[in-house]
């Protein structure tokens, strides 16, 4: 971990990270992106298959759904910094496909210094965790999204943190509930933007 590095320095250093075995699974490290001056940071769980291939966060199906929620909330994606709690794609094979596998505590702990460094450099006013895994990475393993969704927490004197559903959870859920769940995420993003004013 470089001391006093900016985002470009962190990105370069993270590309060579071997703190856990996930660097052997992923095609590449997928670091965050967005403006250094972002008032809102969005933190997902980990890159997916598409993100692993392209090397950018939230560019697959969940990313497109996130873009819709941001648009519905009136937040330009170019105004937010987007990253993941874990920087490599954890997957298991299913035929020719690579299927997402949830990161464990050790893998999240290995990436936590990178995430905390991103938070330190960007210095957002609000961090929105997308899904329970991202929230547990910053708020501890006792965090429950069903109980604490939308609440604001303080991170060690740093930014306030809140959590909402991960867009991939909406995609995996019942199709007839997608519009309702997406509207809920947009509401949560709207509330985060209000807290960041």
pLDDT digits (tens, 9 = 90+) for 9-37: 999 999 999 999 999 999 999 999 999 99
In this prediction, residue 20 carries a pLDDT of 95
The Cα 192–Cα 73 span in angstroms is 10
Helices (H), 22-172: 22-25, 49-54, 61-73, 105-122, 132-139, 145-148, 167-172
Rg (C-alpha) for the chain, rounded Å, is 16
Domains in the chain: boundaries: 7-195
Helix (H/G/I), strand (E/B), else coil: 131: coil
In this prediction, residue 1 carries a pLDDT of 78
In the predicted model, residues of the chain with pLDDT beneath 50 are none
Residues in the chain: 197
**Residues 6 or more apart whose Cβ sits within 8 Å of residue 30:** 47, 51, 52, 55, 56, 57, 84, 87, 88, 89
Homologous superfamily (CATH) for 7-195: Uracil-DNA glycosylase-like domain (3.40.470.10)
- Among 189, 95, 112, CA closest to 156: 112
The Cα 14–Cα 7 span in angstroms is 10
Global confidence as pTM:
0.96
Tokens matching residue 159: 């930014």
Q: Which residues of 23-34 are buried (b: 16+ CB within 10 A; e: fewer)?
A: beebebbbbbbb
The Cα 36–Cα 153 span in angstroms is 22
In this prediction, residue 156 carries a pLDDT of 78
């Amino acid at each position: 971990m470089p001391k006093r590095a900016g985002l470009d320095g962190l990105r370069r250093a993270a590309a060579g990270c071997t703190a856990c075995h996930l660097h052997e699974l992923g095609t590449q490290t997928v670091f965050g992106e967005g403006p250094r001056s972002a008032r809102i940071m969005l933190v997902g769980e980990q890159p997916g298959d598409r993100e692993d291939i392209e090397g950018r966060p939230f560019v697959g199906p969940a990313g497109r759904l996130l873009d819709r929620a941001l648009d519905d909330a009136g937040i330009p994606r170019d105004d937010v910094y987007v990253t993941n709690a874990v920087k490599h794609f954890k997957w298991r094979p299913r035929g020719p496909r690579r299927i997402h596998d949830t990161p464990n505590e050790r893998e999240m702990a290995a990436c936590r210094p990178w995430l905390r460094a991103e938070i330190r450099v960007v210095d957002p006013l609000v961090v929105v965790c997308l899904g329970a895994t991202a929230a547990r990475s910053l708020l501890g393993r006792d965090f429950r999204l069903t109980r604490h969704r939308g609440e604001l927490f303080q991170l060690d004197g740093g930014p306030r943190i809140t959590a909402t559903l991960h867009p991939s959870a909406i995609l995996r859920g019942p199709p007839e509930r997608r519009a309702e769940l997406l509207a809920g995420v947009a509401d949560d993003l709207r509330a985060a933007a209000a807290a960041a004013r």
